[in-house]
Amino acid sequence: MKINLLDSSIYNLISAGEVVENPASVVKELVENSIDAGATNVSVYIEDGGIKSIEVIDNGSGIQKDELYKTILPHATSKIKEADDLYTISTLGFRGEALASISAVSEVEIRTKYFDEENGAYLYAKNGQTEIGDCAYSAGTSIKVSNLFYNTPARYKFLASKSTEEGYVTKHIFRLILANPNVAISYYIDNKLTYSSPGNGLKGAVESVFMPKIANSLIEIDDIPSDDNLRITGYISPADVFKNNRNFQIVILNGRVITDQTMSATIQNAYGTRLMSRCFPIYVLNIVMPFDEVDVNVHPNKKR
């Protein structure tokens, strides 16, 4: 797959944002890249809350050796080529910023084998120096990010404790699992398998992140009828099952997790007085609508 260096006339149309805030944002970007590469199996390893290292291994398409150097250049993406492509984006990424920003503030090691090439290749980047070569690798891609913010002490200082950063990563893993129910995602904290989803649909994904008691109580939403090409499926909790925060209110729009306060408030209101104050329903709503009706041009963390 060819990686394009986007022209400024295109990238100025895309609202850019700082994509690397903490280990959780790195994990999200790496896993989304794996999914965009067609992976059906993704393993995530973090050490010391992801501050020491994050490794994401996938069985996706791999990267051609000759294209490898572009992965860490700014505005380099294989996912769009011209401005019109912005209207039909079906991939999770498209700005070509993530690996550039990540490699600017950490050590990055990529090992990959493109499905159509004979040999594997690696890229190692640190301190603005890049090394590329051949290596033995059987299929897919592994990207290891070590020592986050080692060269930006001011940002390193803003990282929370290891356990807090680990908690943020775990929260993102839940979202990635629920948003990509057909991808098997395994998550290892300090080499211990902590969560793993089977990749066989939303039910399996829900069962892998929620305790059985909660998973079994959720009500299935089976395609709410609507007339605007909109499909809504998912799971929602009955009034007697709730959390004391909104962390388990997940809305997926065409495969992207979005945060929409209006929707959250509308659903909360629908429970009316059946929910006490500070009690929040649990839901996973999967909304599918035509790509050309979605404005992807919001901040990269897709909040609005």
Q: Applying CB under 5 A, which residues contact Mg ion?
A: 33, 93, 98
Q: Does 50 bind ligand ADP (CB under 6 A)?
A: no
Q: Tell me which residue has its CB nearest to ligand ADP.
A: 93
State the binding partner of 78 from Mg ion, ligand ADP, none, CB within 5 to 8 A by kind.
Answer: ligand ADP
Rounded Cα distance between 18 and 28, Å, is: 13
Rounded Cα distance between 228 and 201, Å, is: 24
Nearest to 48 by CA among 183, 196, 122, 149: 149
Q: Specify the residue for token string 């769009």.
A: 80
Q: Considering the complex, what minimum distance in angstroms separates the CB of residue 142 from ligand ADP?
A: 8
Q: Which of 93, 199, 234, 281 binds ligand ADP (CB under 6 A)?
A: 93
* Sheet with 120-126: strands ordered across: 129-135, 120-126, 107-113, 140-146, 53-58, 41-47, 184-189, 192-196
State the binding partner of 106 from Mg ion, ligand ADP, none, CB within 5 to 8 A by kind.
Answer: none
Q: Tell me which residue has its CB nearest to Mg ion.
A: 93
Q: Considering the complex, what minimum distance in angstroms separates the CB of residue 214 from ligand ADP?
A: 32
Strand partners, 231: 288
State the binding partner of 166 from Mg ion, ligand ADP, none, CB within 5 to 8 A by kind.
Answer: none
Q: Considering the complex, what minimum distance in angstroms separates the CB of residue 101 from ligand ADP?
A: 8
Q: Considering the complex, what minimum distance in angstroms separates the CB of residue 259 from ligand ADP?
A: 20
State the binding partner of 64 from ligand ADP, Mg ion, none, CB within 5 to 8 A by kind.
Answer: none
Q: Does 99 bind ligand ADP (CB under 6 A)?
A: yes
Q: Does 28 bind ligand ADP (CB under 6 A)?
A: no
Q: Does 77 bind ligand ADP (CB under 6 A)?
A: yes
The residue among 224 and 291 lying less far from ligand ADP, judged by its C-beta, is 291
Task: Using CB under 6 A, list all residues that contact ligand ADP.
Answer: 1, 3, 29, 33-34, 36-37, 58, 60-61, 63, 71, 76-79, 93-100, 141
